[in-house]
Amino acid sequence: MRYLLLFLLLMPGFAVAAIEGYEFSSSDNERRFHSMTQELRCPTCQNQNISDSDAPLAADLRREVHRMIEAGESDQAIIDFMVLRFGDFVHYRPRLTSTTWFLWYGPYVLLALGFLAVILVSHNRRRKRRTLSPDDADAVSSADVVPDSENETGLEAHRLTPQEQQQLQKLLQQEQDK
Amino acid sequence: MRKIFLFIPLLAFLAVGVFLFRGLFMDPSKLPSALIDKPIPTFSLPSLYEPEQMLTADSLKGEVALLNVWATWCPTCLEEHGQLNKIAQEEGVTIYGLNYKDEPDKALRWLERYYDPYKLVVVDQAGSLGLDMGVYGAPETFILDRRGVIRYRHVGAVDEAVWQKLRSMMQQIEKEEV
């Protein structure tokens, strides 16, 4: 059992053997090969790039990329070669065309709209607060000041008009009569 | 006026919903060909029956025809083979075969056993023409017009329903060129 676990632990080491041996004339070419194969999508197994995919087609495409890099072709030439055959789909970074501009700029547009909405809403709210009576606005803006109940104006605000006084009396009377 | 703004989130939700709902019924494995309305890539590959005879893009011109990419290792190719036989025999449609990444011996035996619907069979053992045509899985069936221009690509088996569609497209192409 212990040996089996040890074996399983070492398994990932053996997987390296499956990698194709490509030789590169320079380390720069090798670096380009890895970045290109990670950027191109495998048309057969669509959610993998051609570097990760085991599909025979991906192996063909890796061979093509290797051949073109060693032949001194530019990255753009390789991408054009693939797009010409398999369409825009093959490139993980879609080109900017009339059909893909929303894909590229849509998120920024939505972000700008979001900011605009926040600004508008807060602006409206501030304006509404200002149109309230100046006393109320003061009370809101100076919330940290404890209102003084002994204050003349404070009492004034709570004082009932004679009419209201009468109404209150009436209601209390009714309550007692029951 | 302000009320209208309240409906914007609802409208945005509906728009996204429509797109996502449509997405449910799309098959992401069916890619549009990048070669539609482009001529068949130039090639020079042997014929299956006469290996010393080299076929070129010119060999496939002259008729509105189907170009069927197939291989003996592809089970779906066997599945659609009966339909291709029927199309060629009963309706007299010209079908060219592209034997893709296969062994000529096996291909010959296969055609002997299951009958041969093809007017010509191009042997693409290395898959180079397949790569130039953006083939990413057999079977694939292309419609070619008289000038050898690719007009349509179908990925997957040709069954009766698919053939109905292909036939009406071929009839359309026949008409426009006369």
Question: What average pLDDT does chain A have?
Answer: 79
Per residue in B49-69, pLDDT (tens digit) is 999 999 999 999 989 999 999
Query: DSSP code of B20?
Result: H
Per residue in A147-172, pLDDT (tens digit) is 554 444 545 556 778 888 888 888 88
Three-class SS of residue B65? strand
Among A8-17, A61-70, B1-10, B111-120, name the one with the lowest average pLDDT: A8-17
Domain B28-177, architecture per CATH: 3-Layer(aba) Sandwich (3.40)
pLDDT over 90 (residue A19): no
**Residues pairing with B69 in the sheet:** B98, B140
CB B143 within 8 A of CB B170: yes
pLDDT at A112: 95
pLDDT at B112: 93
User: Would the CB atoms of B137 and A57 count as touching at under 8 Å?
Assistant: yes
Q: Kindly state the average pLDDT of the residues B153-175.
A: 92
Q: What is the ipTM of this complex?
A: 0.75
User: Would the CB atoms of A85 and B137 count as touching at under 8 Å?
Assistant: no
Per residue in A46-62, pLDDT (tens digit) is 788 888 888 888 888 99
A130 is written with which tokens?
């200002």
Report the percentage of chain A scoring pLDDT > 70.
74
Query: DSSP code of B92?
Result: -
User: Would the CB atoms of A44 and B33 count as touching at under 8 Å?
Assistant: no
pLDDT over 80 (residue B32): no
Q: Is A107 on the interface with B (CB under 8 A)?
A: no
What fold is seen in the domain A18-90?
A: Helicase, Ruva Protein; domain 3 (1.10.8)
pLDDT at A94: 77
**Residues pairing with A54 in the sheet:** none
Among A13-17, A107-111, B74-78, name the one with the lowest average pLDDT: A13-17
What does the domain layout of chain A look like in residue ranges? 18-90, 96-140
- CA-CA distance, A26 to A155, in Å (whole number)? 90
pLDDT at A155: 53
Q: Is A84 on the interface with B (CB under 8 A)?
A: yes
Per residue in B12-25, pLDDT (tens digit) is 899 999 989 988 88
- Per-residue pLDDT band for A17 (boundaries 50, 70, 90) equals very low
pLDDT over 90 (residue B85): yes
pLDDT over 70 (residue A12): no
Three-class SS of residue A83? helix
Among A7-16, A100-109, A112-121, name the one with the lowest average pLDDT: A7-16
User: Would the CB atoms of A43 and B134 count as touching at under 8 Å?
Assistant: yes
In degrees, rounded to 5, the angle at the alpha carbon of residue A47 between the alpha carbons of residues A13 and A62 is: 65
pLDDT at A15: 47
pLDDT over 90 (residue B86): yes
Reported for A73-81, long-range contacts at CB under 8 A and 24+ positions apart, including other chains, are A75/A32, A75/A36, A78/A36, A79/A39, A79/A40
Residue B107, class by beta-carbon neighbours within 10 Å (0-12 exposed, 13-18 middle, 19+ buried)? buried
Nearest to B32 among A56, A85, A87 (CB): A87
Output b/e per residue, B8-29; b: 16+ Cβ within 10 A.
eeeeeeeeeeeeeeeeeeeeee
Partners of A84 on chain B (C-beta within 8 Å) are: 34
CB pairs under 8 A between A and B: 34
- CA-CA distance, B99 to B104, in Å (whole number)? 8
